Chain A
Amino acid sequence: MADSANAPKPSSSVKLVLLGEAAVGKSSLVLRFVNNDFQENKEPTIGAAFLTQKCNLPSRTIKFEIWDTAGQERFASLAPMYYRNAQAALVVYDLTKPTSLIKAKHWVAELQRQASPGIVIALVGNKLDLTNDSESGQGDAEGAEGEESGDARKVSTDEAKSYAEEENLLFFETSAKTGHNVSEVFTAIANAIPETSLKSTRGPGVSNAVGRGGDEQRVNLNGPREAAKEGCAC
Chain B
Amino acid sequence: MGNEDAGSSEPSDGGEERPPPLPPRPSQTRANGRPQLQSKATTALSSMNIQTQSFPDGSRGSFSTPAETTTAASEGQSSTEAEQSLSSMGLSAAGNARPNDVDEAMSVMSYAPTTRPTGDLESLLVGDMGRKSPAWMLLRSQSSTVQPFEKARAESSGAFADFEHEFEDIPDEPGKPWNDEDRLQLWKSKLKHYMILSSAGKPIYSRHGDLGLINSSMGVVQTIISFYEGAKNRLLGFTAGDTRFVIATEGPLYLVAISSLGESDSQLRAQLDALYMQILSTLTLPTLTSIFANRPSSDLRRPLQGTESLLSSLADSFTKGSPSALLGALECLKLRKSQRHSINNAFLKARAENILYGLIVAGGKLVSVIRPRRHSLHPSDLQLIFNMLFESGGIKSGGGENWIPLCLPAFNNRGYLYMYVSFLDRQPTETGSDPTAAGEEIALILVSPDKESFFALQQMRDDVVTELKKKGLLNIIRTAAHKGRSPINEIAPGTYISHFLFKSKANVQFCMPSLQPAFASLVSRRRLMSLYANLHATVHARHSHLKILHCVNEDTTSLAWVTPIFEFYCVAGPNASRAVMTQGANKVIQWAKREEERLFILGGGVF
Chain A interface residues toward B at CB < 8 A: 22, 27, 30-31, 34-35, 37, 39, 42-52, 66, 68, 70, 72-75, 77-78, 81, 208, 211-212
Contact = CB atoms under 8 A, between A and B. Distances in A.
Given A44-B309, A78-B451, A208-B462, A39 B397 contact: yes
B399 interface: yes
Interface in B274-324: 282-283, 287, 302-303, 305-306, 309-310
Given A43-B394, A211-B458, A212-B455, 8 more contacts: A34-B399, A39-B397, A46-B310, A47-B402, A50-B401, A50-B402, A50-B403, A72-B306
A73 B302 contact: yes
Contact of B397 (A43, A66, A73): A43
Contacts of B405: 47, 75, 78
A70 B394 CA distance: 10
Interface in B224-251: none
Residue of B282, B302, B388, B403 with highest tally of chain A CB at under 10 A: B403
Contact of A46 (B303, B388, B401, B459): B388
Contacts of B458: 50, 211
A22 B306 contact: yes
Nearest to A46: B394
B305 A211 contact: no
Interface residues of B, number: 35
B406 interface: yes
Contacts of A43: 309, 392-394, 397
Q: Which of B282, B302, B393, B399 has the most CB of A within 10 A?
A: B399
Contact of B305 (A30, A48, A68, A72): A72
B254 to A, nearest CB: 22
Contacts of A27: 398
Nearest to A66: B400
A62 B512 CA distance: 49
B interface secondary structure, majority: mixed
A47 B454 CA distance: 12
Nearest to B399: A35
Contacts of B302: 73
Given A74-B283, A78-B451, A22 B397 contact: no
Contacts of A48: 402-404
Contact of A37 (B400, B403, B432): B432
Nearest to B454: A50
A119 to B, nearest CB: 20
22 contacts: A22-B305, A34-B400, A39-B397, A43-B394, A44-B306, A45-B306, A45-B394, A47-B403, A49-B403, A50-B401, A50-B402, A51-B399, A51-B400, A66-B400, A68-B400, A72-B305, A73-B302, A73-B303, A74-B283, A74-B305, A77-B12, A208-B462
A81 B401 CA distance: 16
Given A72-B306, A74-B303, A81-B452, A44 B402 contact: no
B541 interface: no
B37 interface: no
Nearest to B282: A74
Contacts of A73: 302-303, 305
Contacts of A42: 393, 397
Interface in B385-414: 388, 392-395, 397-406
B402 A46 contact: yes
A30 B309 CA distance: 21
Nearest to B393: A43
A18 to B, nearest CB: 12
Nearest to B396: A43
B72 interface: no
Contacts of B401: 49-51
B280 to A, nearest CB: 13
Interface string B452-475: 101110110010000000000000
Most buried by A among B451, B454, B456: B454
Contacts of B459: 211
A71 to B, nearest CB: 9
A166 to B, nearest CB: 30
Contacts of A70: 306
Contacts of B306: 22, 44-46, 70, 72
A130 B116 CA distance: 73
A46 B400 contact: no
A211 B303 contact: no
A30 B401 CA distance: 13
Nearest to B432: A37
Contacts of B309: 43-44
A44 B398 CA distance: 10
